[in-house]
């Protein structure tokens, strides 16, 4: 084998190895990014407050996937998918809980507005009733 051939073999091997490395790592990076984004979204939605268990599980799955070695690529992908699903559900639950709180606040505000309207109506009726009464004294 000539030096040129040797260099070709080496380059081919390096290229193959690099290709294999990129081919193996690229999907994981994408899934890690998706899982991390999902967790960030859940945190932004205050999932610590409304769906803390799911968020903890999602973070745990992500951490677990990050420490797995190259030979456990499939397991890592599964953990990342799990983390993403858990984070998505946690984010959705947190958003729904926040909306439910807004709903309760709106109901309270509606009740207060109703009470204020009733009071104002009573006051208006009382003021109108005064109009018909005779005026006594100076």
- List residues binding other proteins (CB under 8 A): 50-51, 53-54, 57, 60-61, 74-75, 77-79, 81-82, 85-86, 88-89, 92-97, 99-100, 102-103, 106-107, 109-110, 113-114, 116-117, 120-121, 123-124, 126-128, 130-131, 135, 138
Least distance (Å) between residue 4 CB and other proteins:
36
Least distance (Å) between residue 27 CB and other proteins:
12
| Cβ closest to other proteins, residue 8 vs residue 53 | 53
Contacts of residue 31, defined as CB under 8 A and 6 or more positions apart, other chains included, come to 77, 80, 81, 84
Least distance (Å) between residue 7 CB and other proteins:
34
Least distance (Å) between residue 50 CB and other proteins:
5
Placement of tokens 């709106």 in the chain:
106
Contacts of residue 96, defined as CB under 8 A and 6 or more positions apart, other chains included, come to 50
Cα–Cα distance, 35 to 76 (Å, whole number): 11
| Cβ closest to other proteins, residue 32 vs residue 57 | 57
Contacts of residue 84, defined as CB under 8 A and 6 or more positions apart, other chains included, come to 31, 34, 35, 38, 58
């Amino acid at each position: 084998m000539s030096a040129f051939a040797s260099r070709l073999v080496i380059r081919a091997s390096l290229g193959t190895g690099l290709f294999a490395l990129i081919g193996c790592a690229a999907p994981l990076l994408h899934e890690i990014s998706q899982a991390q984004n999902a967790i960030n979204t859940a945190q932004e939605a205050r999932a610590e407050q409304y769906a803390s268990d799911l968020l903890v599980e999602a973070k745990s799955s992500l951490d677990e996937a990050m420490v797995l070695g190259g030979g456990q690529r499939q397991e890592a992908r599964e953990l990342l998918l799990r983390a993403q699903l858990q984070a998505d559900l946690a984010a959705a639950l947190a958003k729904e809980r926040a909306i439910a709180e807004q709903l309760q606040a709106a109901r309270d505000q509606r009740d207060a507005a109703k009470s204020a309207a009733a009071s104002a109506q009573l006051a208006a009726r009382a003021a109108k009733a005064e109009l018909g009464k005779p005026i006594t004294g100076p």
